[in-house]
Amino acid sequence: MQKETGLADGGTAGARMTDVAGIEAALVARARRGDTRAFERLYREHAGRVHGLCLRMTRDPQLAEDYTQETFIRAWRALGRFEARSRMSTWLHRIAVNVILERRRRRELPLEFVEDAAEYDTDNDVLDTPVEEAELEALIGSLPPGARDVLTLCGIYGYAHSEAAGMLGIAEGTCKAQLHRARALLRARLADGEKS
């Protein structure tokens, strides 16, 4: 099912474009020529997804807003290097992750990446009960940053380990180990919660 999009009335005047990717490409082309209204349309379309990632990786609403702003500002500057075959949403997420990692280093927050990738789960859990979102989000927020980053990118946004590892600048094995670690921590904390 195609997502409802604010891009539906965009594109070249007179042209009825039903393909979101095509509309997006047209908006990107206009933005590259300096059309800020076209870029605003792209912002409106993608702000929620970028902000969602920033919020989950920072757990700080103010920082998440700042980083979302910075992501789009950098995107504007770098539009000329956006390749049409890429997905805009993935490209924006890469920029957002760069922003977050740079700021995190500048704030000297420790990253706890696990280098041992010897063992990790590959099982695929299937949900058959309602999601208790708030509780799950809170538990994700309690994870160490490295594990939280990987869980957010792979678990929530569905990136492959290779993609997430590339964004985070870590080895794919480390990414897998972090996901294993994140899930183990979540599992333990959920079990603790059920006992209490």
In the window 10-69, what residues touch other proteins (CB under 8 A)?
31-34, 36, 39-40, 43-44, 47-49, 51-52, 55, 61-62, 64-66, 68-69
Write the DSSP symbol of residue 12: S
Binding mask 79-98 for other proteins (x = CB under 8 A): xxxx--------xxxxx-xx
Rounded-to-integer distance, Cα 70 and Cα 54, Å: 11
End-to-end CA distance of the chain: 41
Q: Which is nearer to other proteins, 14 or 123 (CB)?
A: 123
Rounded-to-integer distance, Cα 160 and Cα 172, Å: 10
Query: Least Å distance between CB 16 and other proteins?
Result: 26
Residues 127-166 that bind other proteins (CB under 8 A): 127-129, 131-133, 136-137, 140, 151, 155-158, 165-166
Q: Which is nearer to other proteins, 14 or 49 (CB)?
A: 49
Using alpha carbons only, give the angle 166, 122, 91 rounded to the nearest 5 degrees. 25
Q: Which is nearer to other proteins, 14 or 130 (CB)?
A: 130
Query: Least Å distance between CB 85 and other proteins?
Result: 13
Query: Least Å distance between CB 22 and other proteins?
Result: 20
Tell me which of 74, 144, 172, 173 binds other proteins, using CB under 8 A: 74
CB contact at 8 A, 39 and 76: yes
The closest alpha carbon to 104, from 43, 50, 148, belongs to 148
Give the distance between the most distant pair of CA atoms in the chain.
Answer: 62
